[in-house]
Chain A
């Protein structure tokens, strides 16, 4: 037994807890801001965390229509995906490509969650999740554009590049916008949140209740933290990411902006949502091609 292994495991668990608490509080803040803009008092900021704890102690049953073991494993996979993204991105500052791969795995989680439950609402949520994969195309082009500028996809190198040349957000504003749309599409109640549209109950999470819902909520909290951190690290850089307190301030500001957009825009229909995302993808692609041709 090595003491260092115990230390690594404790560090990893502490990091996850921190990410979940911060992500959960920010998602609570998001609900609060949306409510205030709509003239409601809204739930307390800690509501997301309270819900997660409450559901953790609730009874579950496997629905008769559910396809086990996928129905159960997909909730565990959701946490695995975002904890891995947290460690590879935030702790080890590895490649953006790995993070993109993990983000695509999240689509498998949403799809599997919906289809394994056997519920028509869940299935529709899963199918819509595949539609909204259009939101990932800007991610490809954003990564290409960043590579052209920094000649590296390792987050550590990108942060170092910004130490010398200043924040990338001023050099690649459209890439930052495209990534921001990706963040927006992941936010609850956003115009692109067709996956969890209330017209299909809770989308892919309809049949995942109690303990399993709590596990997915833990993953969503960590996911929110990771996505905001990646945006700050890749586009604003050491200015904010060098100090944890400043990173938190950046996350709060980003959540505030996203909440404003979520509160002031209606939920788009699936075809409109996908069309807008495709238009942004095409514009991001044109931006990338222009940079390749012009140099």
Chain B
């Protein structure tokens, strides 16, 4: 697994857990709003990484060398 996908999965887990906490335990509107601000980027990144298309390159995750 590439480091990008690994970081995406970690971000997705953090995002989902954060949102679960907000939905289940936060009653205060300020906490809910600021929590959303905190965890939405993790979710966005995690979902975004899942959309990275499959590569047929042997070294997945590494862009082909394009010279100096």
In the bound complex, what is the Cα–Cα distance between A91 and B19 (angstroms)?
A: 20
- Taken residue by residue from 1 to 28, chain A's Cβ proximity to chain B (1 for < 8 Å, 0 otherwise) reads as 1101110110111001000000000000
Question: Is A214's CB under 8 angstroms from B40's CB?
Answer: no
Does A60 make an interface contact (CB < 8 A)? Answer: yes
Contact with B33, one of A4, A61, A78, A91 (Cβ below 8 angstroms): A91
With known contacts A57-B51, A61-B4, A211-B49, A79–B44 Cβ distance under 8 A: yes
Give the number of chain A interface residues (Cβ < 8 Å).
38
Contacts of A79 in B (CB 8 A): 37, 40-41, 44
Question: Is A9's CB under 8 angstroms from B24's CB?
Answer: no
In the bound complex, what is the Cα–Cα distance between A175 and B62 (angstroms)?
A: 50
Contacts of B55 in A (CB 8 A): 59
With known contacts A5-B24, A215-B41, A218-B44, A59–B36 Cβ distance under 8 A: no
| Distance from A293 Cβ to chain B, minimum over Cβ atoms (Å) | 39
Q: Which secondary structure dominates chain B's binding surface?
A: helix
- Taken residue by residue from 34 to 63, chain A's Cβ proximity to chain B (1 for < 8 Å, 0 otherwise) reads as 000000000000000000000011111110
Give the number of chain B interface residues (Cβ < 8 Å).
35
Which residue of chain B has its CB nearest to the CB of A222?
A: B37
Question: Is A12's CB under 8 angstroms from B7's CB?
Answer: no
In the bound complex, what is the Cα–Cα distance between A234 and B41 (angstroms)?
A: 29
Contacts of B62 in A (CB 8 A): 61
Contact with B37, one of A11, A61, A87 (Cβ below 8 angstroms): A87
Question: Is A9's CB under 8 angstroms from B34's CB?
Answer: no
With known contacts A5-B23, A9-B23, A76-B45, A60–B52 Cβ distance under 8 A: yes
Question: Is A4's CB under 8 angstroms from B40's CB?
Answer: no
Question: Is A62's CB under 8 angstroms from B33's CB?
Answer: no
Does A84 make an interface contact (CB < 8 A)? Answer: yes
Which residue of chain A has its CB nearest to the CB of B48?
A: A211
With known contacts A5-B23, A8-B26, A56-B51, A13–B40 Cβ distance under 8 A: yes
Question: Is B41's CB under 8 angstroms from A87's CB?
Answer: no
With known contacts A56-B51, A59-B55, A12–B36 Cβ distance under 8 A: yes
Does B32 make an interface contact (CB < 8 A)? Answer: yes
In the bound complex, what is the Cα–Cα distance between A11 and B55 (angstroms)?
A: 38
Interface residues of A in 91-134 (CB under 8 A from B): 91-92
Give me the 4 closest cross-chain CB pairs, A-B, nearest first: A8-B32, A83-B37, A76-B41, A12-B36
A interface residues with partner B (beta carbon < 8 Å): 1-2, 4-6, 8-9, 11-13, 16, 56-62, 68-69, 72, 75-80, 83-84, 86-88, 91-92, 211, 214-215, 218
